[in-house]
Chain A
Amino acid sequence: MDRRLNEVPHGERLTLQFEGGDVTACAGESVAVALFASGENVLSRSIKYHRPRGFFCLAGHCGACLMRIDGKPNVRACKTPAKEGMRVERQNAFPTGAFDVLGAADFFFPKGMDHHTMMTSPRALNAVLNKVVRQLGGLGKLPDLPTPQERTVELPRPRTKHVDVVVVGGGPAGLGCATECARAGKKTLLVDEQDRVGGSLLAHPQHGVRAANEALAAALKAGVEVLSSSTVLAWYPEDAPKAGAEPGLLAVHTPDGLLKLTASRYVYATGSYDQNAIFTDNDRPGVLPARAVGRLLVRFGVRPAKKPVVVGDGPYAKALTDALAKTGATVTRIDGHAEQITQANGRSWVRSVQTSKQRTIKCDLVAVAALPAPASELPRQHGVPVAFTDRLGGFHCQVDEDGRSPVPHVFACGDVTGFGGIDDAISAGARCGRAVVASFSGNGVGKSA
């Protein structure tokens, strides 16, 4: 099976080794996308009940796609670019992902396993249950022994860097903000964890690859330095990049090792995380967030399904429904309010859903357009206050209209300040960029040191 759309250009063909067989991938695809595009569905089993699990967010944010890749366990298949000859295996399944006898845990504990009561049982029984839990739990197996070459590999040295402005997140808000700063002559670094910059633009049928490329080109032209495939891991307030320097740094995991990054201004444009709806067996593979379905279609040119169900009534759900229909799919949209999904059916992949209006809809994919949750962990570490607002998706940064936070030199813009979608993010990013620039001349909160 090949789900790649013919009318879209794909990268050069590669071959992955997937559990003894060959699977075709195209350059530019992640392992998860390559497997899906080639018709492989189940990626692993869940940790406790060994339920079948496929990828979910396709953005490196959920952990549903952990696989053993080239002998290393717990690698995110959706963040690993496919390479010729890569060895890819399912993990957490015995004997295979497709047929897992440990799945009995799900059957024997229909009401769930309460680790608390297991621990308070009589001692002997406790020991036995501990063994059971050990066998059932855990993520993956130890990595293969290093080859002689790997054993002599030098660990990368940490590097340090200082810029005027660092923008964390290369979606619509971050790209716009960084461009404004660089245009004003500020030395600006944009850090993005994906291998391709663009964030949610790359999941939106009306924006897509072209819009992402244009925004990136504008940023580069303005002089923004772009660091992609690089994840900001933490804000460390007490660590100084060098002896004697002022404490406080961002730790960045780059392809070349650790970067200790400091800046005169910090902007968090970290976007939002995709969420699921709560219904029975909502973890069935094939139940995906709408933006993951959008990424498959828009960024990767892969046909997500023949009979998808889209859940949601917002503009994104509508745009995705139209785009799916254009691939020739028969799309059913339900609004998620008046009619909700109550149950997903199917074993290793979703085959139908039941709704609150007692309908059973046959399908081969469910795209849930639930409100994404602001990705506020890093600004929280940096002291930015957050509040929980249901209609904004979760814990969002509390900043003023222009993205100034109460913490000097720290800004936030886009979905991390409350989910608003792409158009809001574009304007918020530009406003925030102007506020950052103004702050250097003393017009804004937090004067330059």
Chain B
Amino acid sequence: MSTKAIVCRCEDVTLADIQHTLEIGYRTVEEVKRYTGLGTGPCEGKECMAQAARLCLMALRTDGPDKNDAVVEPFTSRPPVQPAPLGIFARGDEEP
């Protein structure tokens, strides 16, 4: 077994993956998500998004003093926030 520090457990995204993403210049949580797949698994970012934001913020702060009060934004929260069986949406008609 090789050694890895995991940030996103669902998609096996490692700290090294995120550091690489930041090294090539990306700085937003959305970009980290799109480049690494972080936050796209069954937990939808519940375990990794805050960590990714923290790492982006640290990278922004090392970019220079003008970035000291840079803000980070979460990636878009899309329905459903928890996995659900499609069957519950399949019937359009309501109870009378």
- Determine the residue in chain B with the shortest Cβ distance to A66: B42
Number of interface residues of A (CB under 8 A): 70
Number of A-B contacts (CB under 8 A): 165
Interface contact B42-A275, CB-CB below 8 Å: no
Interface contact B12-A47, CB-CB below 8 Å: yes
Interface contact A106-B43, CB-CB below 8 Å: no
Most buried by A among B47, B73, B89: B47
- Chain B residue numbers with a CB within 8 Å of A248 are none
Interface contact B84-A231, CB-CB below 8 Å: yes
- Chain A residue numbers with a CB within 8 Å of B5 are 278-282
Determine the distance from Cα of A56 to Cα of B47 in the docked complex, in whole angstroms: 10
Q: Which B residues lie at the A interface, using CB under 8 A?
A: 1-7, 9-12, 14-17, 35, 37, 41-44, 46-47, 49-51, 53-54, 57, 71-74, 77-84, 87-95
- Chain B residue numbers with a CB within 8 Å of A394 are 49-50, 53
Q: Which of A157, A278, A390 contacts B91 (CB under 8 A)?
A: A157
Interface contact B9-A56, CB-CB below 8 Å: yes
Q: Which A residues lie at the B interface, using CB under 8 A?
A: 46-49, 51, 53, 56-57, 60-64, 66, 74, 103, 106-107, 109-112, 114-116, 139, 155-160, 193, 231-236, 242, 251, 253, 257-258, 273-276, 278-283, 343, 347, 373, 375-378, 380-381, 386-388, 390, 393-395
Given A47-B11, A49-B4, A107-B2, are A278 and B51 also a contact pair (CB < 8 Å)?
Answer: yes
- Determine the residue in chain B with the shortest Cβ distance to A115: B37
- Chain A residue numbers with a CB within 8 Å of B4 are 49, 51, 106, 112, 280-281, 283
A-B contact pairs, 24 of them (CB 8 A): A47-B12, A49-B4, A51-B6, A53-B9, A61-B46, A61-B47, A63-B9, A63-B10, A106-B2, A110-B2, A112-B16, A116-B35, A158-B91, A236-B79, A274-B47, A276-B6, A276-B47, A280-B3, A280-B5, A281-B3, A281-B5, A283-B6, A387-B71, A390-B57
- Determine the residue in chain B with the shortest Cβ distance to A393: B50
